[in-house]
Amino acid sequence: MKHTALAFAITALLVGCNTSTNDSQAPTAAEQAYEYLVQLSSTAEGIGARPTGSEAETRAAAWIQDHLAGWGYEVQNQPFTYTKSGASKRSQNLIAELKGQSDKVILIGAHYDSTGDKKGSEGATDNGAGVAALLAVAEALKGQTLPYTVRFAFFGAEENGLNGSRAHATSLDSTAIARLLAMVNYDTIAGGDVVYVHSAHSDVTEYNCAEPGRYSFDPKVRDRLLAISKLTATPLAIHPSYAGYPAGETGSWSDHAPFACLGVPIAYVEATNFTINGADGYDGYSQTTNPALWDCYDDASKSACDRGSETQWGKIWHTQYDRLDTMAELFPGRVEQQLSANTDLMIRFLKEPGL
């Protein structure tokens, strides 16, 4: 019964969304984003899982590069090496810029590798969705002159230690760093129950920066996205405080971290559920209350019926649930709706950054 009610609610949201965005017959950026997500993450219709260091990861890089080049972007393929299980591995970032009125840069990033393929994950929400949104944004904005220069960064090898984002951050000299106005990380922007936006942690020691004196936790990018999101179909949320993490502040576990360490104000958008008492408390690793993703979910305690024996904890990322066919059954319309809203959000932000 609960599921049926949820499906109706989401369908109603989608209808509302479509009527407000379908001003013309051409596919909207949001519709394109979903198409790119299918092509990137569906094994049946596209590339599928993109494990860090795999041939599929390399194919995904070529696929991203081809799209950007096809829209007239000059694409920089930034190779880097990293170590996995003692062996040296290669990956690459794809970087493209849209020149703005100012040469100050808003960097928007998403990692394109995935993990959990052995369990059946196709990396649809983590992080096909972030890549798909940024591609659709790049396509929608091609040829436009926005207030600031936009740098689209598609990072490789995130799941094995933020290797791509670290490589890009390390490649920047002091002039290039001074040009960076903001960084927005799109990682798992769809799938979970709620879409949140975070700023960096107010305690510099959380980020283990090489030069802690540079670190920025300025929340202005988060707050701007939050304000703009109120104009979209899915207003973003701020997570409540939990052990060690003040409300709206995040740790260093995704691609925003190397840029916060450079002193760049960051924002990180992710879909999860911070109201669940997960395996380690209210830390946002449990993404959904949908009982299908729990051995047994207890609504009253917002946790596992038996915390000692639970094995699933409502996680989509890195599991067999992170694929579009399964997501469509479990959460009809959800990925489309969240992806659409976040694509719309980024376009609005880049047109009027308010920074």
Give the interface with Zn ion as residue ranges (CB under 5 A). 126-127, 187
Least distance (Å) from Zn ion to the CB of residue 126?
Answer: 4
Least distance (Å) from Zn ion to the CB of residue 296?
Answer: 27
SS3 98: strand
Say if CB 80 and CB 93 are below 8 A apart. Answer: yes
Least distance (Å) from Zn ion to the CB of residue 110?
Answer: 9
Say if CB 308 and CB 298 are below 8 A apart. Answer: no
Query: Cis before residue 127, ω within 30 degrees of 0?
Result: yes
d(CA 141, CA 75): 15
d(CA 97, CA 106): 10
Least distance (Å) from Zn ion to the CB of residue 191?
Answer: 11
Least distance (Å) from Zn ion to the CB of residue 163?
Answer: 13
Closer residue to Zn ion (CB): 98 or 167: 167
SS3 276: coil
Least distance (Å) from Zn ion to the CB of residue 316?
Answer: 11
Closer residue to Zn ion (CB): 92 or 125: 125
d(CA 67, CA 82): 26
Closer residue to Zn ion (CB): 187 or 336: 187
Least distance (Å) from Zn ion to the CB of residue 114?
Answer: 8
Closer residue to Zn ion (CB): 126 or 344: 126
Amino acid present at 262: L
d(CA 168, CA 94): 10
Least distance (Å) from Zn ion to the CB of residue 158?
Answer: 6
Closer residue to Zn ion (CB): 122 or 353: 122
Closer residue to Zn ion (CB): 67 or 256: 256
Closer residue to Zn ion (CB): 117 or 126: 126
Phi, psi torsion values for 83, nearest 5 degrees: -110, 130
Closer residue to Zn ion (CB): 127 or 160: 127
Amino acid present at 230: K
303-304/297-298 β-pairing: antiparallel
d(CA 154, CA 135): 9
d(CA 289, CA 131): 26
Q: Which residues, including other chains, have CB under 8 Å from residue 177's CB and lie 6 or more apart?
A: 262, 263, 264
d(CA 39, CA 197): 26
